[in-house]
């Protein structure tokens, strides 16, 4: 577990980051949010327009769907840690370039190392591929990975990794909505039953 200073230092680095060209077009970088002792981490692709404006992950329409999916399996948003592979919004909400993913990768690695989640749920192809590569697994496609649970070690942390569709994809392609809901019900819910999520805790409360 990282110290309060370690985490605040990481957030400060992300907020002032200039490692890739995305910094020049962002409104705000989006480090992530949630308890630092959360058992479950959700990792998406990159911030969208609402996230760029607010500086928080998953606060737009995809975030509302994620909140609904979490509620459907009895999980409070405040009990999980949520972040993205890329911390700044790509222009026009395009997919992040590989160079942007590589530039941001050290931040995600440090988040995993600090939080030490028991479960990581990768939301979408970019997140799935990135986490598979970090875990030393071969990535074929989201269709091949979806529904599977892999026991992996990432940054010295032993955890379970699973991949599902990004909520935004289900909004644009309603045919994926049922599959996404089924993943939460049949794959993610059984996983989280074995681990207690924690209440939303401020940094000051947690480090007392």
| Residue with the larger pLDDT of the pair 70 and 202 | 70
What is the predicted pLDDT for the residue at 1? 52
Q: Quick check: helix, strand or coil at residue 160? A: strand
Query: Which of 130, 104, 81, 83 lies closest to 21 in space, CA to CA?
Result: 104
pTM for the predicted model, two decimal places: 0.92
Q: Taking phi first (over 0 means left), then psi (-120 to 50 degrees means alpha), and beta for anything else, what does residue 201 get?
A: beta
Each residue's pLDDT tens digit, 151-200: 999 999 999 999 999 999 999 998 999 999 999 999 999 999 877 554 44
What is the predicted pLDDT for the residue at 196? 54
In the block, residue with structure tokens 């590989």: 98
What is the predicted pLDDT for the residue at 101? 98
Counting every residue, how long is the chain? 208
Instruction: Give all domains of the chain, ordered by start, each with its CATH number.
Output: 4-196 (3.40.470.10)
Q: What is the DSSP letter of 24?
A: G
Strand partners, 77: none
pLDDT more than 70, % of the chain: 92
| Residue with the larger pLDDT of the pair 206 and 133 | 133
Query: Which of 57, 52, 112, 121 lies closest to 83 in space, CA to CA?
Result: 57
Q: In terms of C-beta distances under 8 Å and separation of at least 24 residues, what long-range contacts does 99-102 make, across chains too?
A: 99/20, 100/20, 100/22, 101/126, 101/130
What is the predicted pLDDT for the residue at 204? 47
Alpha helices (H) along 137-185:
142-145, 167-172, 177-183
> How far apart are the C-alpha atoms of 45 and 185, rounded to whole Å?
22
Query: Which of 140, 84, 75, 77 lies closest to 108 in space, CA to CA?
Result: 84
Each residue's pLDDT tens digit, 106-148: 999 999 999 999 999 999 999 999 999 999 999 999 999 999 9
81-84 β-sheet, strand order = 81-84, 40-44, 119-123, 157-164, 149-154
If you average pLDDT over residues 23-44, what whole number do you get? 96
**Neighbour tally for 181: CB within 10 Å:** 17
């Amino acid at each position: 577990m990282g110290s309060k200073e370690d985490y605040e230092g990481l957030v400060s680095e992300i907020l002032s980051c200039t490692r890739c060209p995305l910094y020049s077009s962002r409104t705000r970088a989006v480090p992530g949010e949630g308890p630092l002792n959360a058992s479950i981490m959700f990792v998406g692709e990159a911030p969208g327009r609402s996230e760029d404006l607010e500086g928080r992950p998953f606060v737009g329409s995809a975030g509302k769907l994620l909140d609904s999916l979490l509620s459907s399996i009895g999980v409070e948003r405040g009990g999980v840690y949520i972040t993205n592979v890329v911390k700044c919004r790509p222009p026009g909400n395009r997919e992040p370039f590989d160079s942007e993913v590589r530039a941001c990768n050290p931040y995600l690695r440090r988040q995993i190392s600090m939080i030490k989640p028991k479960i990581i749920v990768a939301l979408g192809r970019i997140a799935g591929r990135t986490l598979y590569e970090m875990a030393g697994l071969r990535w074929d496609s989201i269709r091949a990975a979806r529904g599977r649970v892999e026991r992996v070690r990432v940054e010295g942390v032993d955890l379970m990794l699973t991949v599902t569709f990004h909520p935004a994809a289900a909004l644009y392609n309603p045919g994926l909505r049922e599959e996404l809901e089924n993943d939460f019900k049949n794959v993610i819910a059984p996983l989280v039953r074995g681990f207690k999520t924690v209440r939303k805790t401020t940094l000051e409360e947690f480090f007392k």
